[in-house]
Amino acid sequence: MKATFKDIEHPMAHEDATPTVRPNEQHDLLRISTAGSVDDGKSTLIGRLLHECKSIYDDHYKSMINDSKKWNRDGMDYALLLDGLKAEREQGITIDVAYRFFSTPNRHFIVADTPGHEQYTRNMATGASTADLAIILVDASKGLLPQSRLHASIASLLGIKRAVVAVNKMDLVGYKQKYFRDIEQSFRSFAEKLNFTDVRFIPMSALKGDNVVKKSKAMPWYEGTALLPYLESLYIGSDRNLIDLRFPVQYVNRPTADFRGYCGTVESGVIRRGDAIMVLPSGKETKVKSLVTMDGELDYAYPHQAITVCLEDEIDISRGNILVHPGNVPKIDRQVEANVVWMSEEPLDITKKYLLRQNTNEVRAVVSNVKYQIDTNTLHRKESDTLQLNQVGQLSIECFKPLAYDAYEQNRKTGAFILIDPVTYNTVAAGMLLDKQNATSLFSDDGTQEPVANNIYRYNGAVTSSDRQGALGQKASCLWLTGLSGAGKSTVAYALEEELLRQHVHPYVLDGDNVRHGLNRDLGFSPEERRENIRRVAETARLMMDAGLVVICSFISPFKEDREMARKIIGDRFFEVHVDASLETCESRDPKGLYQKARNGEIANFTGVSAPYEAPSNPDLVLNNDRDATLDGAVSRLMDFLKQHKIQV
């Protein structure tokens, strides 16, 4: 039986059901953007969340009831809480971006309801630009559509690392698990090329309320949490950049002859009284005299605080300048690389001058080159000399004066910009600045590339690698252990290191997790980043071998092409060792709990689950490290192998 309007009770009808919108409370704030194709239920989902969280005021609630009747909706239409334009209500679609604030006892939320139509992609990009999380809705009855792929691509491009794939309208497919799993598999395959680090899949019906706030009894096969509990528990504290001080000057405050302060918002990092400060782009240095606010002076200030900074010395500083710590300076360049979303109906014209606005800074600029356009459906690159409305591409931009910036991936606040038409003053593009070194591939097909910098030369001293090996009494070698997570690579590597030391051989272990805490801490797990991870490790191993050491590399290194690149970089005495254990065995061990997280959708691009592993076709040695193997046996085989290759001289 269908619910009538009389059957639906106002969420504030009970005496104990008070509004929970308390913006002054000190709960952490989660910014959410919705994404997906047309009519996937984005507005309905947000309306349902507002309703269930008792965040609808009486006049809004009555208006929703009246408008549901007026537009002949089947029952209560929660989307009307978000669709404010007349055209949206008539057509049942979202055109503009609608922001709504709601709260639970555990957290505050700001959610952006973004349009699904292709012609409003620029509106979607605007809504996603400040989000911590993207909720990507997919209609269970239709599957993953091109527009869903487009929105997921743009969300990833805009630096959103977390995504919830809400497989909506499960009621239309009888709540059958097969539809959910098919969409999950399709999205995982597509998302391997994206930069999401955390993807969660939730089956739901926004209209019926299944798995929105509470677990649904209609889908007992789903073992995860409902949407709202997941959003409440999601940790985002580590997202704040407290290291790189970036304070763009917005206004020079000079109320009297005795006071000069520089107003703005701390975008990242921490600024303290007495700190040494550098002003960019001039490069002049001074110290912080005081930090002034409406409530008095502060000892320090952190991200998102609006303050006035007073300095010890009088320096020529104006709007658009940026204050940083002298030992932590952003890049300064006139020529930059950027990914952009084109937002104008007039196509990109490389002969035209634009205004580039970054934070409070504004400079004239020209697009010197369209490097390529990105097909957001396939993520393939296409040659192009322009960009049309809603297209995404990578550009080379030349500014008329130096720009101080960070790569967008490192700092969204100083890595974001917009391009403005100087005649109409319309925003024509939104961009994400790139580290120029990483703007294109860092390596050629053979695993080597000339340095980016000019006028640098190799210098060889009188002591050769052979001299060092002779002094140590050993032959420099690299044992490259590859295999699935949990196969036992690290365990074998460190046991071998101990045995080599007992045999008076000088070894060193390079372990996958360890290098990602330091040398490769800036890399994720996309195929390109995995390849760069292996390239850096191979270069490090080559330097260690030049010092005469036996280097034991323990890395999943799932792709044959990457391992071949490492072999070419390292050269002679590179030995590929396959630590061979079945997926079932590795998953049963799961020492770090990673397989379980990957199965739950908490880890994207996980080898063996959501990313492939290409086993070596002709390794130098195979260690069968399944359940029946012993650690002593594996080490013994490796020692025999090294003796055969005359490790000691």
Interatomic CA distance for residues 64 and 163, integer angstroms? 29
Is the separation of the CB atoms in 80 and 238 below 8 Å? no
94: closest CA among 110, 102, 82?
A: 82
Q: Which residue has the tokens 């999205």?
A: 187
Pick from 342, 331, 332, 30: nearest CA to 157: 342
What is d(CA 141, CA 136) in angstroms, rounded to the nearest whole number?
15
| DSSP symbols for 117-132 | SGGGHHHHHHHHTT-S
d(CA 273, CA 287): 8
Q: Which two tokens stand for residue 638?
A: 């490796």
Q: How far is CA 87 from the centre of its chain?
A: 35
CA distances from 610 to 248, 355, 505 (A): 41, 42, 39
Measured between alpha carbons, how far is 340 from 348 in angstroms, rounded to an integer?
Answer: 11
d(CA 370, CA 387): 8
CA 110 to mean position of chain CA atoms: 19
Residue 597 — φ and ψ, nearest 5°? Answer: -65, -40
Residue 149 in 3-state DSSP?
helix
Task: Given the residues 557, 582, 610, 617, select the one marked as catalytic.
Answer: 557
Q: How many C-beta atoms lie closer than 10 Å to residue 15's C-beta?
A: 6
Which pair of structure tokens corresponds to residue 305?
């605080």
How does strand 353-358 pair with strand 361-374? antiparallel
- Cβ neighbours of residue 617 under 8 Å, at least 6 residues apart? 560
Residue whose entry in the numeric block shows the structure tokens 């978000």: 82
In this structure, what token pair is assigned to residue 91?
């057509």
- Contact predicate 210/202, CB 8 Å: no
475: closest CA among 581, 571, 394?
571
Label residue 474 exposed, middle or buried (CB < 10 Å: 0-12, 13-18, 19+).
Answer: buried
Say if residues 142 and 112 touch (Cβ distance below 8 Å).
Answer: no
Burial-class residue 210 by CB neighbours within 10 Å (0-12, 13-18, 19+).
buried
Contact 111, 34 (CB under 8 A): yes
Q: Would you state the structure tokens that stand for residue 469, as one six-digit string?
A: 């090996």
* Cα(287)–Cα(23) distance, integer angstroms: 35
**Is-catalytic flag, 43?**
no
Q: Half-sphere exposure (CA, 13 Å, Cβ side) for 175?
A: 15
* Rounded distance between C-alpha atoms, residue 372 and residue 340, angstroms: 11
* Cβ count within 10 A of residue 243: 12
Helical packing angle, 146-157 and 177-191, nearest 10°: 50
Active site residues: 557
